A and B are shown apart, each in its own frame.
Chain A
Amino acid sequence: MTFNAAALLLLIAGLALIGWLAGRARSNLLAGRTGTKLHSRPQYHGWYVALWLFAPAAIFLAVWSSVSPALITNQVLTSEAAQSLPAFGFERGAILSDARSVAQGDQAAVRLPAAAPLVKPYADASHKYAWIGIAAMLALALAGGLYAFTRIRPDFRARSRVEKIVMLVLLLASLVAILTTFGIVLSLLFESIRFFRLVSPAELLFGTTWAPTSGAPQPDTFGGIPLFWGTVLIGAIIAMIVAIPIGMMTAVYLTQYAAPAVRKWVKPLLEILAGVPTVVYGYFAALTVAPALREFAVMIGIPNASTESALAAGIVMGVMIIPFVSSMADDSINAVPQAMRDGSLALGATPNETIRQVLIPAALPGVMGGILLAVSRAIGETMIVVMAAGLSANMTANPFASVTTVTAQIVKLLTGDQEFDSAKTLAAFALGLVLFIVTLLLNIVALRIVKKYREAYE
Chain B
Amino acid sequence: MTQEDLTITDPKMKAHGVNVFYGEKQAIKDVSIDVGTDLVTAFIGPSGCGKSTFLRSLNRMNDTVASARVTGQIELDGEDIYAPSMDVVQLRARVGMVFQKPNPFPKSIYDNVGYGPRIHGLAPSKAELDLVVERALVRAGLWDEVKDRLGESGTALSGGQQQRLCIARAIAVDPEVILMDEPCSALDPIATAKIEELIHELRGKYAIVIVTHNMQQAARVSQRTAFFHLGTLVEYGKTTDIFTNPKQERTKDYITGRYG
Contacts and interface: CB of A to CB of B under 8 A. Distances in A.
A73 interface: no
B97 A350 contact: no
Interface in A333-379: 337, 339-350, 353, 357-358, 361-362
A362 B106 contact: yes
Contacts of A346: 59, 61, 92, 96-97, 99, 170
B207 to A, nearest CB: 16
A454 to B, nearest CB: 13
A347 B101 contact: no
Given A347-B173, A348-B92, A361 B107 contact: yes
Nearest to A347: B116
A260 B66 CA distance: 10
Chain A interface residue number, banded: 20 to 34
A334 to B, nearest CB: 15
B92 to A, nearest CB: 4
A344 B106 contact: no
A345 B61 contact: yes
B89 A349 contact: yes
B103 interface: yes
Contacts of B22: none
A456 interface: yes
A362 B107 CA distance: 8
A229 to B, nearest CB: 37
A60 to B, nearest CB: 59
A456 B97 CA distance: 24
B221 interface: no
Contact of A348 (B104, B120, B155, B166): B120
Given A347-B92, A347-B115, A348-B120, A341 B169 contact: no
B99 to A, nearest CB: 6
Q: Count chain B CB atoms within 10 A of each CB in A342, A343, A348, A358 and give the residue with the most.
A: A348
B53 to A, nearest CB: 14
A357 B92 contact: no
Interface in B67-115: 89-94, 96-97, 99, 101, 103-107, 115
A254 to B, nearest CB: 15
A260 B67 CA distance: 12
B119 interface: yes
B64 interface: yes
Contact of B119 (A340, A348, A361): A348
A340 to B, nearest CB: 6
Q: Count chain A CB atoms within 10 A of each CB in B101, B106, B115, B155 and give the residue with the most.
A: B106
B173 A348 contact: yes
B70 to A, nearest CB: 16
Contacts of B119: 347-350, 353, 357
A343 B101 CA distance: 10
A344 B118 CA distance: 12
Contacts of B115: 344, 347, 349, 357-358
Nearest to A364: B106
Contacts of B96: 346-347
Contacts of A362: 105-106
| Interface residues of chain A: helix, strand, loop or mixed (majority) | helix
Contact of B99 (A260, A342, A350): A342
Given A357-B115, A361-B107, A347 B169 contact: yes
A337 B116 CA distance: 19
A350 B64 CA distance: 12
Given A347-B119, A347-B169, A358-B105, A342 B92 contact: no
A339 to B, nearest CB: 4
Contacts of A357: 115, 119
A300 B77 CA distance: 62
B174 to A, nearest CB: 11
A361 B96 CA distance: 23
A340 B155 CA distance: 12
A348 B61 contact: no
Contacts of B106: 340, 361-362, 456
A456 B101 CA distance: 16
B105 A343 contact: yes
Contacts of A341: 64
Contacts of A343: 99, 103-105, 166, 169
A340 B89 contact: no
Contacts of A344: 105, 115
A347 B103 CA distance: 12
A337 B103 contact: yes
A387 B188 CA distance: 64
A342 B103 contact: yes
Contacts of B99: 339, 342-343, 346
A348 B61 CA distance: 10
A345 B97 CA distance: 10
A339 B103 contact: yes
Contacts of B104: 343
A358 to B, nearest CB: 5
A208 to B, nearest CB: 44
Contacts of A361: 105-107
A345 B93 CA distance: 9
A345 B64 contact: yes
A339 B120 contact: no
A349 B119 CA distance: 7
B82 to A, nearest CB: 16
Contacts of B103: 337, 339-340, 342-343
12 contacts: A339-B99, A339-B103, A340-B106, A341-B64, A342-B97, A344-B115, A346-B96, A348-B89, A348-B92, A348-B120, A358-B105, A456-B106
Given A344-B105, A346-B59, A358-B115, 19 more contacts: A260-B66, A340-B106, A343-B105, A345-B61, A346-B96, A346-B99, A346-B170, A347-B93, A347-B96, A347-B116, A348-B93, A348-B116, A348-B120, A348-B173, A349-B119, A350-B89, A357-B115, A357-B119, A362-B105
Interface of B: 59, 61, 64, 66, 89-94, 96-97, 99, 101, 103-107, 115-116, 119-120, 155, 166, 169-170, 173
Closest 6 CB pairs of A and B: A348-B93, A339-B103, A346-B97, A348-B92, A347-B116, A343-B103
